[in-house]
Amino acid sequence: MLGPLLPEGGVRELRLNDHALAIAVAAKSVTLPYGQEIRVVHCVSGEVIFRKTATTIAPQGDE
């Protein structure tokens, strides 16, 4: 994952205690290679609370 809220070079996994912060970081991030899925998972329950894939992102230039 790469994004403006992540360390330079990106991360594969990030653990945060704040759900809202985790979702904000995921929403502003992208994957390399493009098109992979980004998920925010509640560690205790295993529930996926946010999911972002290439199909949920509008291609660049579309408005």
pLDDT tens digit string along 8-34? 888 989 999 999 999 999 999 988 778
Report the pLDDT value the prediction gives residue 63, as an integer from 0 to 100: 45
pLDDT band at 41; cut points 50, 70, 90: very high
**Per-chain mean pLDDT for the chain:** 85
Residue 38 in this model has a pLDDT that exceeds 90: yes
More confident residue, 35 or 48: 48
DSSP E strand boundaries for 1-63: 38-41, 48-52
Report the pLDDT value the prediction gives residue 56, as an integer from 0 to 100: 57
